Every structure is written in structure tokens, then in C-alpha cells.
Copies of this chain bind each other. A is one copy, B any other.
């Protein structure tokens, strides 16, 4: 069995038919006809057979491993110039049609050639920054994305905008980071992902890319936003705020939802008409003065009943911590009766962190709405201990704290300033109380 062969594999319970794919684990990975990959433990395989051999020539991996290149697809002086920067993810999981194998590093022009409609919208340039499924992403990658964007806009003054393709798993962490880093930027940076790989008939990649390009071409929007499907049908895309968006479904095409706000705009895929749902209230009021660093000694803890106090000890020596509390911003710290005496240890662990000047902020695992720590005794108690509310999504609060500590912190003397800045609406990241009634849209 070679990579690219169409094979049939039997295990105890089931048999699979698909194309054998390259992969770095011990598993055998097949691309099934429905476009999904499946990993099979070799120990569980009872029998395997080749149905069709692959065409060797087309699976020439050396050719596919060529280094990143910029490719201008066409050049029509009447059209604006859009740069597509690829970072990987499902949208870049293009299948080689001859071999059936996912190409781990593809030539930038290949993805563009899959979407010929883009050539009618703009002069497209395309470049690969990296090819990573976003769940494996580190702050170093995000800093590199920002650096690349800054280099590009410095070099290419005539760019109408940039599309950044990205894995969907942690896309909103990156969108928040780029939002803070690039605030005040004078072109649109639109992040696009896909929930189905680009080669599948049902892929959302093409529509998301095309709508992003149309939005860049036809509007004066400036700043960082996300463009993804509005519904599970191929009708509209929505342009989403980089700080107030969350992946709310593990697999649907309309997974990305605005949280406590409305979308910025809608793009009709058929008519290519753009409707602004709300004015871009906050963007571009700030000076463009990019600060790139993200502090790594920050973290997230989710609170839950009977929680383990050692979770807090894991952040000893860290500069900052986000506690994703329950509802209005609570954690099990109140020792109210003989049954809850373990809560004392959680409280003590938080106190030790705060005493050693780790900055601790509270967000809400309810997702919609946000923290209000003065309403119940537990919130009041936490506030008294020195925990501060962060009226943002957990993802946004985590990134904002890393960004503030990375760029505006020199010593513990700056802690008070960082707490103040976390409460300050720097770029529209803080939830608006009126907007909090925008629920489950």
C-alpha cells in the first residue's frame, strides 16, 4: 500500500474504503469519500487490500514541498490588489485529486486556482506563512502573522486589503491578538477559515474567501475582522468583530457567531451586495502604533464545583491568569457549611497567587452576558481578594492580558496600570451592556 492508493481496510467491527494518506502518527489514515479523514489503529486491522494503485507521477511530493512563493494570478489595472496570506487549517487541507492525499504544504497558487472567481474580484497575490492546524498554534505563530502583515503593508503600498486564512479551532484567539496589535491599521485584515476542506463539494472555503474579497473590494472597512458563513446554506457570509466572536459549533459551517453583539456586515454571495448591520463604532479611532509581543506567562482556569485548588498553584510565578468563572463571575471559594469546607483551599490558593502579584481576572463561562461581581457575595469576596472583572470573552481577555503584559509591563509596579487597562475599552473589546441582549443569533 502506497500513499495515494485507494484501499479497503477491515477491522473487527467495520470496513473502510478510502485513499491512503501521508501522516506522521503510527495510525493508518484514510481520506473517505465524504471528504473526512479517519485514523485507524494498525493493531485493530484484520485485513487490507489495494483497490486502485495511485498515479505515482501526480503524487510527486518533492514538487509539492516547494518553498513559499508569491503568485500574482492576473493583473488587471482596474482591479484592486488583495494579498492572501495562508497559515494553514482546514481551508488549506486541499486534496490532490489524483492521489486523494491531503497536501501538507501546497503551492499558494494551487488554492487560488481552485477559486477562479477571485480573479474577477481583484488582483490576487498569495503567500504561505505556515501550514498549521490552529489547535497547535503558539503565541510565536501569532506574533509571526502580525510581523508578516506589517512587512507586507510596508512594502506594498497599493494593497486594498489582506485575507488571512486560518484554522478555525482557535481563530478567535488570533483575531483578538491581531486586533490589539494592528489597531488603527488603515486597510482591512479579514480572517477566513473553513469547516470543510477546500476540495469537498460541500466546502465553505470558496464562499468565505469570495465574500471576504468582495467586502475588502467594496467597502472602506479598516481593521481586523472575520468572514464566515451566516447559516449552513451558501447564501450569506457575515463579517464578525475580531473580539466578540466565538466558534460555537464543532462542525457546522455557521459555527462562528457574534457574542453579545450583531455582525458588522453581511455579504450576499449571489448578488455580492454588502449590508452594514452596524457601524464600525470602535475601529480606527486609535493611532496605528503596532505592539507585537504576547506575554507567555499567562493562563486560563475554568472554575467548576469541587474544583482542584492545585490548578491555581500551577500558575505560581505567572504574570497573569484568567479564571473562567460561573455566570456573573463566581468560583467555589465560600466556606458556607460543613459540606463546602474544601472551598477554603481554593480561596487560599487564589490568595497566594494574588499575594505574589499574579494578576487575576474573571470572565464568564456562560459566554453570553458577562461578569458582574458586585451582585452576589461570592463575587464581592473575590473582588475584595483582588480579582478583577474582565467584561470580555475568555479568549479575548486571555489575549488582551498577554498583549498588555507583553508590551506595557516592565515590573510589578506596572500591575495597577495593567488592571486599569483591562477595564478600559481599548478597541471595542469590552462588552456593551445594551448589546448583551443580542443573544443566540
Contact = CB atoms under 8 A, between A and B. Distances in A.
- Which of A135, A318, A330, A377 gathers the greatest number of chain B CB atoms within 10 Å? A135
A121 interface: no
- Which of A136, A140, A141 gathers the greatest number of chain B CB atoms within 10 Å? A136
Contact of A170 (B305, B313, B335, B371): B305
A372 to B, nearest CB: 7
Interface in A364-390: 364, 366-372, 374-381, 383-384
A137 B302 contact: no
A306 B136 CA distance: 9
Contacts of A296: 306
A27 B384 contact: yes
A98 interface: no
B168 A327 contact: yes
Contact of A340 (B138, B326, B395): B138
A310 interface: yes
A333 B440 contact: no
Given A137-B332, A311-B314, A339-B144, A250 B25 contact: no
A308 B302 contact: no
A368 B248 contact: yes
A54 interface: no
Contacts of A336: 132-133, 136
A439 interface: yes
A38 interface: yes
A220 to B, nearest CB: 31
Nearest to A169: B326
A441 interface: yes
Interface stretch (A180-188, A251-259, A419-427): A251-259
A173 interface: yes
B324 A302 contact: yes
Contacts of A398: 304
Nearest to A304: B300
Contact of A250 (B294, B337, B364, B381): B364
A127 interface: no
- Which of A38, A144, A305, A384 gathers the greatest number of chain B CB atoms within 10 Å? A305
A248 B38 contact: no
Contacts of A251: 327-328, 369, 372, 436
Contact of A326 (B24, B135, B326, B332): B135
Contacts of A343: 136, 138
A36 B380 CA distance: 13
Given A304-B173, A314-B308, A375 B132 contact: no
B249 A366 contact: yes
Contacts of A337: 130, 132
B133 A376 contact: yes
A305 B139 CA distance: 7
Contacts of A306: 138-139, 294, 296, 402
Interface in A235-288: 247-252, 254-255, 257
Given A138-B305, A250-B370, A308-B314, A376 B37 contact: yes
A301 interface: yes
A326 B337 CA distance: 36
Contact of A247 (B301, B303, B366, B372): B366
Interface of A: 23-27, 29, 36-39, 41, 130, 132-142, 144, 168-170, 173, 247-252, 254-255, 257, 294, 296, 299-308, 310-311, 313-315, 318, 324-337, 339-340, 342-343, 364, 366-372, 374-381, 383-384, 395, 398, 402, 436-437, 439-441
